[in-house]
Amino acid sequence: DPALVKAEDFFKHIEAGNTSNPLGSQVTPVTVDQLFGLNTLGISLARIDFAPKGLNPPHTHPRGTEILIVLEGTLYVGFVTSNQGNTNRLFTKVLNKGDVFVFPIGLIHFQLNVGYGNAVAIAGLSSQNAGVITIANALFKSNPAISDEVLTKAFQVDKSIIDYLQGQSWYDNN
């Protein structure tokens, strides 16, 4: 009901994320779930805080393209193209304060703090809820688990390696 809309529906304050975790990074999303004023606008964003050597692990956004701007620090970023001609091409760049990089919709990408201090970036997304699939979590921490037969054949490794990977505590920084 438009009569019930208030200024708070269009405002969100974002604090720095806690990077004291196994990945050394924290993503603070601002989607339509956190900022109701984004409804129908087709955009959202996230603040990403990195400790030194912090990683935003390989992930994908199935419903949106990401554009990243570095506010402070130095990030090594990259994405992998889809299998074209049986080749997955890696595109990478080292970004500094003020640099911008785009990650096309649905492609696996990552960011790693390669600087000596903390880093902060803002990710703009072309969807009010772009979604996020963290690759390691999706493969090795799904519920129920993906069968060993599928994973051993896909990765061409012994079951003991799959068991080891499934036994890890995969941290989710989102």
Average of per-residue pLDDT across 37-44: 96
CA distances to 80, 96, 98, 104, 171 from 71, rounded to whole Å, are: 24, 8, 6, 21, 25
pLDDT given at position 1 = 78
State how far the Cα of 83 lies from the Cα of 66, in Å rounded to an integer: 20
pLDDT of residue 2: 82
Q: Cα–Cα distance between 72 and 50 in angstroms, integer?
A: 10
Q: How large is the greatest C-alpha to C-alpha distance in the chain, in angstroms?
A: 61
Tokens at 115, concatenated: 């600087």
pLDDT tens for 59-87 read 999 999 999 999 999 999 999 998 878 78
Whole-model pTM? 0.93
Q: Domain 2-131 falls in which CATH fold?
A: Jelly Rolls (2.60.120)
> Given pLDDT bands bounded at 50, 70 and 90, which one contains residue 7?
very high
Q: Which residues are annotated as a binding site?
A: 56, 59, 61, 66, 109
Q: Which residues belong to the annotated binding site for Mn(2+)?
A: 59, 61, 66, 109
pLDDT tens per residue, range 135-145: 999 999 999 99
Confidence (pLDDT) at 100: 99
For the annotated binding site for oxalate, the residues are 56, 61, 66
Domain ranges within the chain, ordered by starting residue: 2-131, 134-174
Torsion of CA 130, 136, 139, 145, to 10 degrees: -110
Q: What is the pLDDT of residue 37?
A: 94
| pLDDT single digits (tens) 81-122 | 988 787 899 999 999 999 999 999 999 999 999 999 999 999
pLDDT of residue 137: 94
